[in-house]
Structure 1
Amino acid sequence: MERGILIWSLLLFLALNIAYSYPNTTLNSIQDLKDRVHPLSTSQLSLLYWLASEIKNIDNNNIMTFNFDPTRGDYGSHYYKNIERVLPPLLNNIGNYYTLGNLNLTNALEFPEYVTKEFLMSTHIAEKLVNNRQRLILHAIWNHHSTMFITVDQVYLTQHYPPNWRRGSEYDPVNTYRITPNLLREIQTFQTLSATDIQNQYGIQIGPTNQIEDPLQRLALFFKMINNLKISIITFCYSNTKQRRRRAVSKEECDDLKIKLEVKTTSEGTARISWDDIPKRHLNQDVFVVLYQNKDSEIQLATTKIIEASGNFTTTAALNPGLQVRLHKSKTKWLTQKIPGEEIWRGLEFHDTREIPVGIRGYDASLQLYVKDGKASARLYVRNSFTDWMDVLKSSWVGFYSNGNTGTSTCYTWQWAVYFSKETRSDIPEYDVYVYQSSMAMSPGVHARFILWKKSGEKARTSDWEIQRPAIINVNINGYDASLQLFVREGYACARLYIKKSFSDWMDVFQNSWVGFYSNENKATMEYDENMWQWTIKFSKEIQSDIPDYDAYVYQSYRAMSPGVQARFLLSNKIEKARTLPWEIQRPADSKSPVDINGYDALLQLFIKGNKASARLYVRNSFTDWMDVLKSSWVGFYSNVNTGTCYTWQWAVYFSKETRSDMPDYDVYVYQSSMAMSPGVQARFILDNNEKARTLPWKN
C-alpha cells in the first residue's frame, strides 16, 4: 500500500512538473547561444537576428518596443494561449503571449528573404516541416494611457516537437529558452559593426574586402560565430567558408541561389515578370520564365523566352496574391516549336502587401496598402477597444495617390473610412479589420493616406508601392564630431543628427546651423522646399541612441518622402557641411537590362558607347514587318525620370543593324546619341505620342 502511494505521488510530481515546464534556461549573450543550445539551427538564429533588427528601444527597465505590432498579425504573429504551460502563467491577466515564425502563413512573407528563403526553397514536405518548427513568443502589453504602443517584457525562443514524434503543434519545453534584452542588444550591435571590427572582436576572417554589402553575407558571418553549426547551403554559398556540409555543394548550386525571379507591377496594375542573375550556363540553353497563378498551380498565365541575365516582361495578368515566377528549360514541340519544359528554379510567391500597417496618429488604429485584382486597396485595423471609432472618425477618409508630391486634394480616388467593409479575421482577436478596393490601378509610387476632414489633416501615410528603403547611411558633418542621416517616418522626410557625447558645446557651436530638405540634388543651397527646414538646436532628443557614445536628435518635416529627396546640413554663413544621398526608387533589375516594348515582340536597352547615351532595339525576327508597323516610332534620351523633354532623339527605323550571332531569334539595331551618359539618364520608346517603353535610370 505504502509503495503504491509512493509511486502515485511520484507520478503526480512528474505530471505537475511536465504540466508546468517553464523555461529553466536563460540566454543572456551570444556565448550562451553557443554553449547552451544544442543543436542550434540556422532557422533559430535567423529569427533572433531578425528580431534584434526590429528593436525600436530598450528602456532602463529592460522593457522593449519593436517596429511592429504582434497583436495586429504583423509577420503572421497570432495569439498564443499557453495551453501546454510551457511558459509562466500571466499574472493578473496583464497582456498576452503572441507567437510568430510560422512561415506557412501569408503574412510571413513580410519577413526578409533571409528568414524565409531556406523554408521556401525546400522541395519536400518533410524538409519544409523541419525548417518551420522554430518560433518566437513575445509577452506583449498594450499601453493606452498617455501614449499608444506595444511593449514587450519577455521574449522566448522555442520550437515544435519533431514531426515524427506525432505531437502536433505542441511546443517542446526542453528546447524553450528565455531570451534577454542583453542578447538582442549584442546581436543588434553586430549588425552595425564594420568588417574590420568583426575581424578584430570575433576573429572572423572576411577576406580581401572590408565591405559587407549583401545581407546574406553579413548573416553568414553571424552564423560563423557559432561553433559546430551545421550551416545551410544558403549561408555556405555566401560565407566562403571551408566548413564541411553533409554533402559537397557545387558552384552551380551557389550560382542558382543568386537567381532572382520576382513579380512587380506595371502602371496598369498588371504583373511584370522581373529576373536577374540568371547563370550563363542556363542562358546557353533555351530558357523561359513563366508566370503561375500560385505555388501549387500549374496554370501558366504568361510565358517568355529570355536572352539576357536580367530583364523584365510585361504581362496582362492582374496583380494578385500568390503569383509566382519560375525558370524553365525548353523542350521541342511539333519538331520546331520551343515551349517551357523542365523547371529549373522558382521565385517567391507575390504578397499583396509591401509593409506592415502604419499607425494613425492619435488613434488606436492603423492603415495598410495592399493590392487586389490589380487595384490599389486599403485595410484599416481598428483595436476593438476603440468601440466608438465610427463616431470619432465619421468625417475621415482614405485617399489614393499616384506619388508623394501630390497634395491632399489631388488624390486619384477616395472613400469615407466608415464605408469600408468589415473583413472576417479570426487570427487577430484584438482588432477589427475593414477593407476597401479602389478603382485605381496599382503602380510604382502609389500610396494611401488617412485624412481627417477639415480638421487635423493627414494622420497616416503608407510607403509608396515598390519604393526602396535604401540603407540609411550616416554622412559626416565636415569638421565636427557629428553626422547627418535621412530617414522616413509615416511617409515624411526626416533628419537625424548624431552628436558625439564628448562634443558637449555643440549647441553653442551649431547655434545658427540648420538642416534643409530638397526635392533633388540639383537644387541650389537656398532652393530648399518651402518651409522645409529647421534649426539644429530645435531638433528633439531621442530617448535612446542606437550608436554608443552618441546622442541622437530628430526632426520630422512636412515634406512627403519621394525619390530624389535629400537633406543637407548648413552653417549660418550658408556653407554646406553635409548632404545625404538622394532617396531612391527600387531598381528591380540592372539599369542596363532590356525592357519590353509594350504590345510588340521587341525590347529596348540603354547602354553606353564612347561616353554617350546609346540605345539598342531587339526585334524578334518573326516580327518581319516591324519597320512598317513602327515607322512613326522614335527613341528619346532624357536627363532624368521626372522630365518630359528629351535631350535628343532618333526614329527607330533609322537605327543601324548590329551583327549578333549569339541571339539567333532576334535582330539587333543600335543608335549612339550625342548626349553624355550620366546617372539618371533614361531612354524611352514612343509610338504616335504614346510611350511604349522606358528604361530604368542609368546607374554607374
Structure 2
Amino acid sequence: METVSLKRIKTNIPNPIGNLCSSFQNNSFPKSRLVFVNRLSSFTTYTSAFIMEWTRFLCCLALFVVCANAATIEILHKIEDLKSKKFGHEYPRHGLLLLHWLANHISISQSEDILLHFDPGRQDYGFHYYNSTNNTSTTLPYLDDSSDRVYYSLGSLSSKAVRTKLPPYVTQDYYNALEDPKRDLDRIVLRVQRSSPRQADKVYITQAVTNEQEADYDPDETFEISTRLLTQVQILKTPLDLLQTLESHVTGTQNSDDPRLVLSKEKLLNHLKYSDKHLQSIFEDPGVRWLLILAGYDLDNRYNIHKKTWFCSTDEPIQHDQISSDPETLCESHSTVKIEVKSTQDGYARIIWSGLPKNILKLNTTVVLFSSDTSTELQRFTELQGQASGSYDTYLALNHGIQPRLVTYSFAFEHGFIGLRYSIIWRGPQFDEANRVIPTKITGYNANLQLYTVYGYACARIYIKSSFTDWKKKFAGSWVSFYTNDQDPDHKYTHYQWVTNFKKVDDTKEYLIYDYVTVCSQKKTRRYRTADLSVVCPECQVLKWRGEDCFVVSFSSSS
C-alpha cells in the first residue's frame, strides 16, 4: 500500500503540495517527504528555467529600452538647431557660455576626433566623473565598468571647485543672480576614452533636475552636439570681414561653414547695429556675442537687466556709430567692466578694476574684498578715487575663494556708533588658488605638478596616475624645490620637500592627489615664486623639470 500510494501520488498528483498532504494522510511522512523533495526539485527546476527565461526576456527588454533611449537623443548639427532648445537661452543660464568655452578648448581632427586641451580625469576646469553604471535612471546611454568609455560632467557652478576654475564670462551671471534658481541648471557631458583620456567621442548638453526626481538630467532637454556644430562655434572667433561678407551676398559665394554667412544682408546688418551693440558691454569676446545671437538667446531681457544693474538711462543711443568714447553709462560703452583679484609681489591680494563708467563713479563707489561669495564680512576696503581703471595692493593674504565686489557705501550714526552701510552693484569672480592654470605634465612620467597658494604661501600639488603604481619607487630620490625668482639657477633653490613626504589629500577615478602645504609645515615660511621637480634616476643622472607654466602666483622672498 505504501508503495502503491507513493506511485499514485507521483503519477496522479501534479502538485507537490498535494503530495505532502497525501503523505500526511497515509502516515508515511518520511517516505512522502522524500517524494516531496524530489518533486519539489523537479518543480524548482521547471520554475527556475521559467524564471531564467523570463529574466533573459527582461534583460533584453531593459537593453532594448536603454538602446532606444540612447537612440532618441537628438543630435544638433548646427548652431541654428540650438534656437528651439532651452539650453542657456535666458539670464542667468550659462549653457551657451559653457559651450563656447568648450569649443575653444578642443581641437577637431580631419577624422572628426575631438581632442581635448585638458584632462577631465584630473578634474581640470572643474570636470568631475559622472557614474552611469550605478544610475538606473540615467538619461545618457548606459556604460558598464568594462567599457573603454567614461562620462565627465561640467557646469555645476554651485561647487566652488568648479566656478573658480572657469572664466568670468561663464560665471558672472551666476554670481549676480543669487536668488534665481535658473543660474545653475546647464551641464555639458563628455564621453571620453579611458585608454586615451584626452580624446572624446561624444559631447552632450543637458539640464540638471532636482533631487526629488528620479533622473539626474532632464531627458527632454538632453542633446548630442555634433563636431560640425563645435566647428561652427570655433569659426565665430574669426573676425568677420563685413565688406567681403556683403560682397559674397551679392555674388552668391558664401562659405557655408561660417554660420554668420547664412544670414540675409538685412539680418546681418541688424545684428551688427543693434544686437551686437547691446551685448558688447556685457560680453567682451565677439565670438561669445555671435553665438548668443545665432543661437536665439533672449537678448532683450538680458539687456534690460544690464541697464537696471548699471543704472543706464532708458534713452541712451542704440546706433553703433553713436557709442561715446567717453561714456556716461556702461550701456553707452563698447567695453565691459572688469573687477578681479590678482597677486602682489609679496603674495597679498591686489584688486584690479577697469571700465567703470562715470555714473557709477559718482555714486561714492569702492571695491571691497570678501573671503567668499557668501560672506557678508568686509575684509579690505579701498576708494576708487574717481578712476575708471586702476589697481590697489592690499595686505590681505591671497587665498582661494576671495571675491571682489563693487559697492556703494555711506556712513551712518546709529546707537552712538558710526557704522558703514553698503549696497552691492556687481560681484566679480572668486580667486582660484592656482589662478585657473591646469597642472603641467612631468615629462616621462604619468604624473603632473601644480603650484598653488594658501594664504599667500607657495604650495605644491602632485597628481599621480592610478596606473603609476610604483611611483614611490621611481620618485624615491625626487624632490620639489622652491625658488624666489623664476630666473634662479636650478641649484639655487631656497626650500625643497621630498615627493614621498607629500600628504595624500584626495583621489579621482584616474588620479591620486598629494599636497605639500608649506604654510602648515613651517613656523616661518617664505613666499616662493616657482617650483621645480628634480628626479634622480637609478643611474644617478639628475633630470630637471622646470614648471614655467605653473608660475601662477608672484611670490617674493620676503616673509
Structure 2 vs 1, CA of residues 304 and 236 (structure 1 numbering), >3 Å: closer, same or farther?
Answer: closer
Amino acid at match of 1:37: K
Amino acid at match of 2:425: I
Amino acid at match of 2:294: M
Identify the residue that residue 295 of structure 2 maps to in structure 1: 226
Q: What is the CA–CA distance in structure 2 between the aligned matches of 1:195 and 1:115, rounded to whole Å?
A: 27
Match among 69, 80, 87 for residue 140 of structure 2: 87
Q: What is the CA–CA distance in structure 2 between the aligned matches of 1:315 and 1:283, rounded to whole Å?
A: 21
Identify the residue that residue 220 of structure 2 maps to in structure 1: 174
Q: What is the CA–CA distance in structure 2 between the aligned matches of 1:410 and 1:333, rounded to whole Å?
A: 55
Confirm or deny: 8 A CA contact 2:458 2:517 kept in the other structure. yes
Confirm or deny: 8 A CA contact 2:446 2:464 kept in the other structure. yes
Confirm or deny: 8 A CA contact 1:56 1:67 kept in the other structure. yes
Amino acid at match of 2:474: V
Deviation of 1:344 (Å): 2.6
Confirm or deny: 8 A CA contact 2:188 2:205 kept in the other structure. yes
Query: 1:111 aligns to what SS in structure 2?
Result: coil
For 1:254-403, what aligned pairs fall within 5 Å after superposition? 254=331, 258-307=336-385, 308-334=387-413, 339-354=420-435, 355-403=437-485
For 1:167-246, what aligned pairs fall within 5 Å after superposition? 167=213, 170-196=216-242, 201-203=261-263, 204-205=268-269, 206=272, 215-227=284-296, 229=298, 233=302
Deviation of 1:379 (Å): 0.9
Confirm or deny: 8 A CA contact 1:414 1:438 kept in the other structure. no
Confirm or deny: 8 A CA contact 1:40 1:229 kept in the other structure. no
Match among 189, 196, 205 for residue 137 of structure 1: 189
Identify the residue that residue 620 of structure 1 maps to in structure 2: none
Deviation of 1:198 (Å): 6.9
Structure 2 vs 1, CA of residues 26 and 370 (structure 1 numbering), >3 Å: closer, same or farther?
Answer: same
Query: 2:287 aligns to what SS in structure 1?
Result: helix
Identify the residue that residue 76 of structure 2 maps to in structure 1: 27
Q: What is the CA–CA distance in structure 1 between the aligned matches of 2:544 and 2:456, rounded to whole Å?
A: 28
Structure 2 vs 1, CA of residues 324 and 58 (structure 1 numbering), >3 Å: closer, same or farther?
Answer: same
Aligned residues: 434
Deviation of 1:301 (Å): 1.9
Q: CA-to-partner distance for each residue in 1:142-163, whole Å, 9 max, x for gaps?
A: 337xxxx5221111111123x5
Identify the residue that residue 30 of structure 2 maps to in structure 1: none
Structure having the higher Rg:
2
Match among 504, 507, 530 for residue 447 of structure 1: 530
Amino acid at match of 2:456: G
Identify the residue that residue 411 of structure 1 maps to in structure 2: 493
For 1:506-585, what aligned pairs fall within 5 Å after superposition? none
Identify the residue that residue 158 of structure 2 maps to in structure 1: 104
Q: Does 1:37 align with 2:80?
A: no
Structure 2 vs 1, CA of residues 315 and 334 (structure 1 numbering), >3 Å: closer, same or farther?
Answer: same
TM-score (normalizing by structure 2):
0.68
Identify the residue that residue 603 of structure 1 maps to in structure 2: none
Structure 2 vs 1, CA of residues 220 and 251 (structure 1 numbering), >3 Å: closer, same or farther?
Answer: farther
Give structure 1 stretches of 5+ with no counterpart. 1-8, 243-249, 468-690, 692-700
Q: What is the CA–CA distance in structure 1 between the aligned matches of 2:531 and 2:173, rounded to whole Å?
A: 33
Confirm or deny: 8 A CA contact 2:87 2:205 kept in the other structure. no
Identify the residue that residue 51 of structure 1 maps to in structure 2: 102
Identify the residue that residue 527 of structure 1 maps to in structure 2: none
Query: 2:491 aligns to what SS in structure 1?
Result: helix
Amino acid at match of 2:398: L
Amino acid at match of 2:393: T
Q: What is the CA–CA distance in structure 2 between the aligned matches of 1:419 and 1:103, rounded to whole Å?
A: 33
Confirm or deny: 8 A CA contact 1:368 1:380 kept in the other structure. yes
Q: What is the CA–CA distance in structure 1 between the aligned matches of 2:208 and 2:85, rounded to whole Å?
A: 15
Q: Does 1:465 align with 2:514?
A: no
Structure 2 vs 1, CA of residues 47 and 168 (structure 1 numbering), >3 Å: closer, same or farther?
Answer: farther
Identity, % of aligned positions: 28
Identify the residue that residue 49 of structure 2 maps to in structure 1: none
Identify the residue that residue 206 of structure 2 maps to in structure 1: 158
Match among 127, 136, 146 for residue 77 of structure 1: 127
Identify the residue that residue 437 of structure 1 maps to in structure 2: 517
Query: 1:316 aligns to what SS in structure 2?
Result: strand
Structure 2 vs 1, CA of residues 362 and 18 (structure 1 numbering), >3 Å: closer, same or farther?
Answer: closer
Q: CA-to-partner distance for each residue in 1:541-564, whole Å, 9 max, x for gaps?
A: xxxxxxxxxxxxxxxxxxxxxxxx
Amino acid at match of 2:392: F
Deviation of 1:296 (Å): 1.5
Confirm or deny: 8 A CA contact 2:412 2:421 kept in the other structure. no
Deviation of 1:342 (Å): 2.5
Greater relative contact order (CA < 8 Å, ≥ 6 in sequence):
2
Confirm or deny: 8 A CA contact 2:148 2:194 kept in the other structure. no
Q: What is the CA–CA distance in structure 2 between the aligned matches of 1:198 and 1:402, rounded to whole Å?
A: 53
Query: 1:184 aligns to what SS in structure 2?
Result: helix
Deviation of 1:222 (Å): 2.1
Query: 1:386 aligns to what SS in structure 2?
Result: coil
Q: What is the CA–CA distance in structure 1 between the aligned matches of 2:514 and 2:87, rounded to whole Å?
A: 44
Identify the residue that residue 34 of structure 2 maps to in structure 1: none
Write 1 or 2 for the structure with the bigger share of strand: 1
TM-score (normalizing by structure 1):
0.55
Query: 2:230 aligns to what SS in structure 1?
Result: helix
Deviation of 1:317 (Å): 1.8
Amino acid at match of 1:174: D
Q: Does 1:119 align with 2:174?
A: yes
Structure 2 vs 1, CA of residues 359 and 118 (structure 1 numbering), >3 Å: closer, same or farther?
Answer: same
Deviation of 1:433 (Å): 0.5
Query: 1:218 aligns to what SS in structure 2?
Result: helix
Comparing 226-235 with 392-401, greater Cα deviation is found at 226-235
Structure 2 vs 1, CA of residues 433 and 234 (structure 1 numbering), >3 Å: closer, same or farther?
Answer: farther
Write 1 or 2 for the structure with the bigger share of helix: 2
Q: What is the CA–CA distance in structure 1 between the aligned matches of 2:142 and 2:183, rounded to whole Å?
A: 29
Deviation of 1:447 (Å): 3.0
Confirm or deny: 8 A CA contact 2:115 2:199 kept in the other structure. yes
Query: 2:100 aligns to what SS in structure 1?
Result: helix
Q: CA-to-partner distance for each residue in 1:355-380, whole Å, 9 max, x for gaps?
A: 11111112211111211011011111
Query: 1:264 aligns to what SS in structure 2?
Result: strand
Deviation of 1:337 (Å): 6.6
Confirm or deny: 8 A CA contact 1:450 1:461 kept in the other structure. no
Deviation of 1:55 (Å): 0.9
